[in-house]
Structure formats: C-alpha cells, structure tokens
Amino acid sequence: MAKLKTLYLCQNCGAQSAKWIGRCPSCGEWNTYVEEVIQKDDTQAAGSWKPPTTGPGTKAVSKPRVIGEIHFEEESRFDTNDGELNRVLGGGLVPGSLVLIGGEPGIGKSTLMLQIAMSLKQMKVLYISGEESEQQIKMRAERLGPQHPQCYILTETNTQNIFRQIDQLQPNVVIVDSIQTLHSGLVESGAGSVSQVRECTAELLKYAKETGVPVLLIGHITKDGSIAGPKILEHMVDTVLQFEGDRHLSYRILRTTKNRFGSTSELGIYEMQGTGLRQVSNPSEILLSQRTESLSGMAIGATLEGNRPLLVEVQALVTPATYGTPQRSATGFDAKRLNMLLAVLEKRSGLRLGQHDVFLNIAGGLRLDDPALDVAVCAAVVSSLNDLPIPGDVCLAAEVGLSGEIRAVSRLDQRLSEAEKLGFKEMYISQFNARGLDLARYGIRAQPVGRLDEVLSGLFG
C-alpha cells in the first residue's frame, strides 16, 4: 500500500491546494475547498473493470504511423429510435462512446434516459440508478408506455459491484443516473467529490473504449448552469449534452456543447407530457399556433437554433412611463441589445421612446440571441407604440446596425423555406442577402431593404 496523501480540492473547478484557503484562485468561489485523501495504489480493487490480456479484445502496442497510411472507416451508429436525440448526436449513438447529459433538477433528464432505454427494443440495456429505488423507476416506466423485455434496472452506487453485474449481464448499452452518486473503492473520499467523480468516470471510460459498449451518464449542474464536478469531466467524455428549459413550461431543448463524432450546432426539441417526452418535429408550427388574429405589438421573426430554422413570435408592449425612470425589460432576449435597438429607433427613426416603458417577450419560453431577430424586435416595438398591427402573413429576418442599416444574416435560404412551408406570403430581408440568392424559386415574396426606415414604411405606411 502506497503512502496516503491529503490534498484540498475545490469542489467547483477541481483546483488543488496543499492547505485550506477560503477563496479558490482558479474559479473565484468561496468555501469550496474540501480535504480529500488521495490514495496512490497501482493494484485494482476486486471487481473493477479489467481489460482482457489475451484474445481478440487485446489491444496491441501503439506505434507511430504516417497519416496517409491510416485507413478511415465511417463509424457505425446505433439508432436510438429517437429522432431528436439522433440529430443531436450526429446520426445515432457511436459504439464505445461516453455521453454526458446535464441539466437542472426536475427538468426531465431521468425521464429522457429511461425513455431511451425503453425504446431500444433490439438491445440489452442496463439502467443503473443511484438516486431512485426500483419501485420509483417502475412507476415512471409505467407512464412511458410498453415495457422493454430486455431493460434491466440496477440500483447500486459502488463501481466494483456495478462492474461485477455488467460482466455477468453483458449489456449493449449502459445508462448511469447519475455520475455524482457513484463511488469507487480506489479513492477514499465521499461520493460526489472531485476525486470520486474523476475516478468513476475514468473507470467507465475505460470500460466503454475496451468493450465498444456506449455509456450514457447523467450529470448534475451547479448554480451557474455548468456541469458539477471537475472541468476534466467534460474533457474525458466524447459528447456533452445540455437539457434545458423552464420547469413551468412544457418545452425542453437538448443542445450539444461538445461532440467528437458530429456537429455541435444541432439541437433537439421535446414537449413534456404526462406520458413522457414527445418529440417536436415542427416547432415553428407549435410556437405560432396561438395566433388567432393580428394584434399590435406582435411580429414574426425567422431565427436559427443550431441548424434548425424557427419562426418565433416577438411580443412588445410600449406604455407611457408611470414613474420617473422608464423600465426596459426583456424575456428570452438580450436586454442590452434591446436598449441598443431602442436607441437606434430614437436616433435614426425619430421615435420618442425616452418616456415609455418597453417590455419584450419571446413567446414559447425560448431564449434566443440570433441577430436576425433585430428587425422583428424593432417592428414589434413600433407596432405597439403606434397601436398598429403587422399583417399576419409577414415575417422578418435581418440584423439592424447602429446607423440604421439592414445587414445580411446567415442561411437565409433555410429561413425562407421554413416561412414558405408555414404559409407566410412576404419576408423582409437585407438587400445584401438578395444579391447571391435566387428569390424566384421560393413561393414567398422577399422584400430587400437597406434601411430600417424602409421596413417601417413598408409595414405601417
């Protein structure tokens, strides 16, 4: 047995210190240093994962090779029977990959993973839970639908016992809920500590790479929204997914922040229902379904979330300021950018907004930062100020500059196609976008404009 070494580790970022300090010099958080015992022992505990020493699974010693001599083959992927998850992963689940899913408490991470486990009908799935009992998982599975005959539930937190069961069961997919609840006998600190999270992830990573079995991990997040535990956790895994949304709203968004096997610009959209998470294949139609008539202060903007075009409703309310200082409030939109656009309207369009309260909302609970919504925000503000509705078959997609010019946006063809599919007749775009695009092939009339005043005069006369 090697000599035990005591270190103080920051539970927020994983920084090390020889003594306790009040504030972490790395991340700036207070009172996050905890004393942990680091055990340097080369011998493996009984039951931990051991790669084969002989046979077909044995890895040969690596040698340097010229890059031109390396043969590349496209990775085969598992179909998860979930179109949104397949899109986010880049086409499916890669064998031997380690996927980390993070999100706020109660957002639906466990429901999503159990739903995936129940949908893999042709595979043997092991669902490992350290947070819920078998009865709790069974209750949730009853709500999700038909039972999977080869979905096994294991309520265990010790990694040595987990690997013994894995060795006997030989599953095709492993799901762990959650990585912060596991603990390994190789480290003498408590579950959820920096050392335990790092060691347990390393053991699961070694198992996934040696056997080719994909492993999905659920991870907790901190109060600022990042994955809890050391930052090295996100570097160790192959894919990091963020499950986002408001618990008081039904829509959930699955984003990719890291993906070694695909793009990080994709996202999946779900709707939380009593029977589980429903895939939303056409989110624009749902976001615009509550529009029954044209009202003032409403404009439709064409935005992009990842590679997916969305048409969202921008709502604005402009009222005379009751108190001395006018209020500026934005929900789902950058408040600083709203102030900038209001200044452009005052300076370039001559509108008097200094004595008005301005409230802005992106309908549906989405949070967007696409500059293409600038002209829709300006149109909604002017519509509410003058109490003039915008025609219901008109949408907008352009960025507004500080001098009042209308600037081009990316991937306008996808925005035009989405608007045409939903029945819109006209879209205001930048004149610079119209130069290299064949607008005649779209069934929607594009209005190229160069100044913000041209947009306002075209909408309100």
* Domain residue ranges in the chain: 4-39, 78-281, 286-460
Q: Is the pLDDT of residue 127 over 50?
A: yes
pLDDT band at 44 (very low <50, low <70, confident <90, very high): very low
Query: Percent of the chain scored above 90 by pLDDT?
Result: 50
Mean of pLDDT values over 138-154: 88
Q: Is the pLDDT of residue 101 over 80?
A: yes
Cα 183 to its chain centre, rounded Å, is: 27
Q: Is the pLDDT of residue 41 over 60?
A: no
Q: To the nearest whole number, what is the mean pLDDT of the chain?
A: 86
pLDDT band at 163 (very low <50, low <70, confident <90, very high): very high
> Which of 76-90, 212-226, 243-257, 284-298 has the largest mean confidence?
76-90
Phi-psi region of 81 (alpha: psi -120 to 50; beta: other; left: phi over 0): left
pLDDT band at 61 (very low <50, low <70, confident <90, very high): low
CB atoms within 10 A of CB 77: 18
Question: What is the rounded CA–CA span in Å between residue 305 and residue 282?
Answer: 13
Residues contacting 231, CB < 8 A, separation 6+: 13, 14
Q: Is the pLDDT of residue 40 over 60?
A: no
pLDDT of residue 244: 86
Mean of pLDDT values over 90-110: 91
Q: Is the pLDDT of residue 272 over 50?
A: yes
Q: Is the pLDDT of residue 45 over 70?
A: no
pLDDT tens digits for range 371-421? 999 999 999 999 999 999 999 899 999 999 999 999 999 989 999 999 998
pLDDT tens digits for range 314-358? 999 999 988 778 999 999 999 999 999 999 999 999 898 989 999
Mean of pLDDT values over 276-304: 82
pLDDT of residue 3: 60
pLDDT band at 70 (very low <50, low <70, confident <90, very high): confident
Strands (E), 251-307: 251-259, 267-273, 276-279, 298-305
CATH architecture of 78-281: 3-Layer(aba) Sandwich (3.40)
Q: Is the pLDDT of residue 57 over 50?
A: no
Q: Is the pLDDT of residue 46 over 60?
A: no
Q: Which of 383, 433, 386, 442 is nearest to 412 (CA)?
A: 433
pLDDT of residue 218: 93
Q: Is the pLDDT of residue 54 over 50?
A: no
The model carries a pTM of 0.76
Q: Is the pLDDT of residue 176 over 90?
A: yes
Lowest mean pLDDT among 116-130, 220-234, 239-253: 220-234
pLDDT of residue 292: 62
pLDDT of residue 457: 94
Q: What CATH topology corresponds to 286-460?
A: Ribosomal Protein S5; domain 2 (3.30.230)
Q: Are strands 308-320 and 356-362 parallel, antiparallel or unpaired?
A: antiparallel
Annotated binding site for ATP: 103-110
If you count them, how many residues does the chain have? 461
pLDDT of residue 2: 54
Q: Is the pLDDT of residue 136 over 70?
A: yes
Q: Is the pLDDT of residue 1 over 50?
A: no
Note every long-range contact of 418-421, with CB atoms under 8 Å and residues 24 or more positions apart, other chains counting.
418/284, 418/302, 418/309, 418/310, 418/311, 419/302, 419/311, 419/395, 419/444, 420/444
pLDDT of residue 229: 62
Q: Is the pLDDT of residue 186 over 60?
A: yes
Mean of pLDDT values over 42-49: 49
Query: Percent of the chain scored above 70 by pLDDT?
Result: 90
The number of CA neighbours under 13 Å toward the Cβ of 245 is 23
Annotated binding site: 103-110
Q: Which helix (H) or strand (E) holds 358?
A: strand 356-362
CB 205 within 8 A of CB 98: yes
